[in-house]
Homo-oligomer: A and B are copies of this chain.
């Protein structure tokens, strides 16, 4: 895709891809990324709401692209299972697991990348408690990996179902994992993750509370007591619990998580640990200055800054991603690259528009 030589258009190597529920924000972003992917052929996009319409009718920004005239179809499991190598599911939690199940049962060779929370926890019981719903596909939980490649790459390679992580968890787990595995984290002290998200994180919903006028020039915290990403973060980090507080920023894309933890390590040692941990990872950039969300918008990068407040002994991490990039669709493409054995940055060597 670019001049760095990562991509060669090897005929015969391309994968056939379907996108289920392609008319939301993550669906549109996924299609945009797939468009730049040299080894992908999009064979089907589905949407109940837009069935029968052309992609560029619904999303005029795709006009003149190679997928401009692709039609939104009704989802049919047999057809999707038959024509696809990889299926992306951009559906809300609870609506995803029945479809994952039937697709898996129809064609076990399929690679399914699920954007919902339905297969993210290790045990279905935790999911059922956190999401307050019965899970009817517990028997295939063991087929799923948590799709954070920087940490769970080997497991992802082996599984058929990839549970694409939540956006907040991606920013917080990447931000804390190096501290966790290097004993930099004093476990007697609770971890605090104060996260701020752009509004695409709330999805493409018709809600008065998401109206431009009620978001613009305004800032708020929400779901302070019980956001479902808290348990996801805690489980993947292997800590008993995390104090997680999400906030809404009047911007479209981006999450910035400010993470606090007690640490015996010095600032210098923390920085060394982080640089070392991510030194082979293209998508994580450990920075010398606090990062801004504009530098990762539209990309699959996670920019991380770590420092220490010597007076209080608190380690501070600032971690930024694009919530629908590395926090959703970018990460989904990265997961596809892992499961398909493509170079991991294939189709993802996009840089931010910045302003």
> Could you list which residues of chain A lie within 8 angstroms of chain B, going by C-beta atoms?
1-4, 9, 25, 28-29, 32, 35-38, 59-66, 189-190, 192, 194, 196, 198-200, 204-208, 210-222, 224-225, 240-243, 245, 247, 249-254, 256, 258, 260, 282, 285, 287, 289-299, 301, 303, 305, 307, 309, 311-314, 316, 318, 320, 349, 351-355
A198→B65 CA distance, assembly (Å): 25
A254 surroundings in chain B (CB, below 8 A): 217-219
Q: How far is the CB of A347 from chain B (nearest CB, A)?
A: 10
A221 surroundings in chain B (CB, below 8 A): 256, 258, 290, 318
Is there contact, CB below 8 Å, between A252 and B351? no
Is there contact, CB below 8 Å, between B249 and A190? no
Q: Out of B190, B200, B256, B307, name the residue touching A355 (CB < 8 Å).
A: B200
Is there contact, CB below 8 Å, between A252 and B290? no
CB contact under 8 A between A225 and B307, given known A25-B355, A212-B199, A217-B216: yes
User: Chain B: which residue is nearest A196 at the CB level?
Assistant: B219
User: Chain B: which residue is nearest A190 at the CB level?
Assistant: B312
A258 surroundings in chain B (CB, below 8 A): 194, 221, 245, 247
Is there contact, CB below 8 Å, between A38 and B3? yes
Is there contact, CB below 8 Å, between B243 and A213? no
Is there contact, CB below 8 Å, between B243 and A316? yes
Is there contact, CB below 8 Å, between B192 and A256? no
User: Chain B: which residue is nearest A216 at the CB level?
Assistant: B252
Is there contact, CB below 8 Å, between A295 and B61? yes
CB contact under 8 A between A219 and B355, given known A224-B316, A316-B224: no
A316→B192 CA distance, assembly (Å): 11
A193→B17 CA distance, assembly (Å): 45
A320→B189 CA distance, assembly (Å): 27
Main secondary structure of the interface of A (DSSP, over half): loop
Is there contact, CB below 8 Å, between A249 and B250? yes
A192→B259 CA distance, assembly (Å): 11
Beyond the given A190-B314, A216-B250, A216-B355, could you list 15 further A-B residue pairs with CB under 8 A, ordered by the A residue number? Answer: A2-B35, A25-B355, A60-B291, A190-B312, A192-B314, A198-B219, A199-B212, A207-B211, A220-B293, A241-B311, A243-B314, A245-B316, A247-B256, A249-B250, A250-B251
A215 surroundings in chain B (CB, below 8 A): 212
A4→B38 CA distance, assembly (Å): 9
A247→B218 CA distance, assembly (Å): 14
Cross-chain pairs A/B with CB under 8 angstroms, 21 sampled: A2-B36, A3-B38, A28-B354, A60-B287, A60-B295, A61-B295, A64-B301, A192-B192, A194-B194, A204-B208, A210-B211, A214-B294, A217-B251, A217-B253, A217-B294, A218-B251, A220-B293, A224-B290, A224-B305, A247-B256, A298-B353
A4→B37 CA distance, assembly (Å): 11
Q: How far is the CB of A26 from chain B (nearest CB, A)?
A: 11
Is there contact, CB below 8 Å, between B353 and A66? no
